[in-house]
Chains A and B, each alone.
Chain A
Amino acid sequence: MKNKFLLPLIILVSTSCSQNTFVLKDKVFCFDTYIETNLYEGNNEDLSNIKDMFTLFDKLSDNYLSRDVTNIFSINSTNEELEINPSLYSLIKTSIDVNDEGATYFNPLCGSLSKKWKAALKEGKVLSQEEIDEELVKMNNSSIFFKDNNIIQRIGEAEIDLGGIAKGYTLDIVNDYLKEKEYKHFLINGGSSSILLGEKKSSDGYFNVGLRDLSNAYIKAKNCFISTSSKSVQGVKIGDITYSHIINPTNGSAINENDAVIVISQKGYLGDALSTSMMMNTIEEIKQIEIDSGVKTIVIKNNHIIYKNDEIDVYYH
């Protein structure tokens, strides 16, 4: 009698050890990086729709090239009123409004200052205070005029740069799409700096997210966005100082308070903007922003965690 149960029992035990491997994958080059979509449910049409979303926002937010739509490059090229895609209008508006959600060091008008820093650091040079001041004057005398949900006018000489928010904003659009389809199992990796997580197909649903700035460290996360800003990737060391690609819009400096900031949030745009802005914040300021904006944060300096929200557990392999 027992023999009849033996084989089914072995099969049951064996299959319980294996994971469901169904996954739809896609990779698209957008926002100067590769976006990798992993859907553990859904179909190829979903992959295609998601790719279209990334492609559209990549074109809209491009501040370096003219594309086949009116984009940030177009807006930066004129002071005239322009009719733009309502999605771009909403993205630019969000990039301004996010300041009120705690991203006080996030300014979309720092485009020309960022470009100047990038060019200087490429040559192994640091911008002079005179050059920085000139750009700060431009920024402080510039603004963006919004009208009718699709009309925009850049006033002044400062250029718009949405590099610190566009990817997270697009992930929000993708998340809305996946929620509408009632999909739960997905992982979208926006070039390792912005990640959208659904639930893993496992008993607890948590994904292991490795933290590149801390050796062998990882966190467990699901149903959230994780954004990070770090000097380790694009930082340039000149003398004893590491200069960052993240510019402080208040004083024009490329020296950050923190080496890396990780933000876990429920909105991609907020996580992206806050992780950028928090590179300049003190720990006390970050704690207050966590309370005000409902995000959780890890702050890293000199290869160590100098602050971690109590609700985040960091594990080590």
Chain B
Amino acid sequence: MDKKKLRNDIILIISLLAVAAVSLILIINKSVKTNLVARISVQNNVVEVIDLSKKEEKDFYIDGINGKVHVHTIDGSIAIVESNCPHQDCVRMGYISDSSHPIICAYNGVYITIDGETLNDVELG
């Protein structure tokens, strides 16, 4: 009877330790950013998906609604480097490398976001 009780106690302790270990792994994973992926959309349709974690230098020429938009990636970041829009706000935003701020070229309907697990529920700024 005592042996059975001891066995059950051991099973219970091992089970709880296993649950704790899994929880710890999940918490640790949450604090590390996952691979970042940039999505380029034109009028809400995704036209390019780029894995920024490869840190490749590449050029993309996106057909916006009023002309071509030149997008450049380098070292895990992405930018609109050329656009025919009147205000050039999108070009002035420069390179982004996290999900806190999308790049928007309203004139061409082009929207660039970076997806990936972040530590916060929302970014302000």
Contact = CB atoms under 8 A, between A and B. Distances in A.
9 contacts: A9-B12, A122-B87, A207-B122, A208-B119, A208-B122, A210-B118, A236-B92, A260-B125, A317-B31
A212 B88 CA distance: 22
A13 B16 contact: yes
Contacts of B102: 34
A210 B89 contact: no
A189 B15 contact: no
Sorted nearest first, the 10 A-B pairs with minimum C-beta distance are: A212-B125, A210-B120, A207-B121, A210-B123, A208-B120, A2-B8, A17-B23, A13-B19, A208-B121, A212-B100
Interface centre among B22, B93, B118, B121 (most CB of A within 10 A): B121
Interface string A197-215: 1001000000111111100
Interface of B: 5, 8-9, 11-12, 15-16, 19, 22-23, 26, 31, 44, 87-89, 92-93, 100-102, 104, 106, 111, 118-125
A33 B88 contact: no
Nearest to A2: B8
How many A residues are at the interface, by size bracket? 35 or more
Contacts of A226: 124
B39 to A, nearest CB: 12
A167 interface: no
Contact of B122 (A17, A209, A233): A209
A232 B125 contact: yes
B125 A230 contact: yes
B124 A193 contact: yes
Given A29-B111, A210-B124, 14 more contacts: A6-B8, A6-B12, A29-B44, A122-B88, A187-B122, A189-B122, A192-B100, A192-B101, A192-B124, A200-B121, A208-B120, A210-B119, A233-B101, A317-B31
A289 interface: no
A43 interface: no
A10 B124 contact: no
Interface string A1-41: 01100100110011001000000000101001110000000
A223 to B, nearest CB: 14
B124 A212 contact: yes
B124 A6 contact: no
A140 interface: no
